[in-house]
Chain A
Amino acid sequence: MSRYIRQITLPQVGDSGQQKLRYSSVLVVGAGGLGCAVLPYLAAAGIGKIGIIDGDKIEESNLHRQVLYSTDQLGFFKAKEAASAIAKNNPEVEVTVYEEYLTVKNAPQIFPEYDLIIDATDNLFIRYVIDDTCLACGKSFVYGSIHQFQGQVSVFNYKNGPRYRDIFPQENQSVPNCAEAGVLGTTVGMIGMLQANEAMKILLEIGEVLSGKLLIYDLLSNSQQVFEFGKAPEQKKPDLSISFEMVQLESLDIAESILLDVRELGEMPEVKFPQLIQVPLSVLEKESGKLEVDKEYLIFCQSGIRSRKAAELLSKKGFQNLKLIRGGAKDILQLTQNEKSIS
């Protein structure tokens, strides 16, 4: 046990705390910038079982902040390479690798195997999947996310505490990720470290956990602010004049559905689908005649903003069977690729 002696020396840890860590299991969702900060500290501390789920592969543009990876690993799966790195540091840790993206399908199968979930993703759509699955499975999750030089950290669904949806109930929205907004490696490093610290406190049952509190850390001014929140009132509804049903693509019969892509022509990623019509939002008013008013359309765009506007526009023109697909083109692409690999 000399590996852990310096932390066992802490009165708040001791032998009993080390045993708690030894018998704990943590799933880290995302092995990007945040995950690369979280994972080595959890492994080094002696967490018994660590799961890493990420379907992404290492790209050169990741290397300035995803410090577990090196130039000779470009093109390799992040989850596997991250697992090798932390296993090298601490062979006592059992590491499970999931070389796939988290989805509404696999989350309920994987989450029950872990005590605690860490959200180290860069995808707002997946955050809601994590939030919903944690509630369904009775798991807490440590949230971290950044925007340029600022980071947010909180713990959700902890001892029946509030969830992510209690702060941000509006699911269908556009928020830029690191690729769009830019990021310094040190910013994700700091926020990931705070997430790892919250995870340690939860597992060791020490200190004050950030449950019901949203920490915002501004790395440019070195200022930290904590905002308190509670559970949102049950009756809270989106303040939209027209509301549309949001559907999971996974739960639909793909052969029966017509997808309506309202992105501009040439926007990436390209989504291929048996029945797909593309009418950009900018010309939808003029070209709505291409669509049949009595058919059901499942609308998507890049993030959800334009699909909602398109649905509102079509609704005013008498279309009644309109649904919005959760997530955006990237999520749909991932899913259709998965379906292909399954079949």
Chain B
Amino acid sequence: MIQVKYFGLIAEAANCNSENVAEENKTLSQILSDLTSRHQLGDYNFQVAVNKKIVSNLSDHVLSDGDEIAFLPPFSGG
């Protein structure tokens, strides 16, 4: 099971702060593509963290059970 956390506008778009997905052995880019199309996140800007580390190369990661993905959008209020 992979835990996915959403923040800011992304949480609003996904209509939840977190969810679990049973998609082990997929690459990070495959899972992101699935979640992006399911929650229609194509127009949003966000960065992705795996296990609390922001990743710059998405295709390198194969996820395993217990991993956590976070969608981090920029904030602008102040």
Contacts and interface: CB of A to CB of B under 8 A. Distances in A.
Interface of A: 30, 32-35, 120-124, 127, 144-148, 150-152, 167-168, 170, 173, 175-178, 181, 183, 188, 214, 216, 221, 225-230, 232-233, 236, 305
A120 to B, nearest CB: 6
Interface residues of B, number: 22
Contacts of B57: 233
12 contacts: A30-B78, A122-B76, A122-B77, A124-B76, A127-B76, A145-B76, A146-B75, A173-B74, A214-B72, A228-B52, A228-B54, A305-B43
Nearest to B73: A175
A228 B52 CA distance: 6
Interface string B54-78: 1011000000000000101111111
A229 B56 CA distance: 9
Interface of B: 5, 7-9, 17, 43, 45, 47, 49, 52-54, 56-57, 70, 72-78
Contact of A145 (B17, B43, B75): B75
Contact of B78 (A177, A227, A229): A177
A81 to B, nearest CB: 17
A216 B9 contact: no
A223 to B, nearest CB: 10
Contacts of B56: 230, 232-233, 236
B78 A145 contact: yes
Contacts of A188: 77-78
Most buried by B among A34, A167, A175: A175
A120 B77 CA distance: 9
B74 A227 contact: no
B77 A145 contact: yes
A151 B70 contact: no
Nearest to A176: B76
B9 to A, nearest CB: 7
- Chain A CB count within 10 A is highest, among B5, B49, B70, for B49
A178 B75 contact: no
A33 B78 CA distance: 6
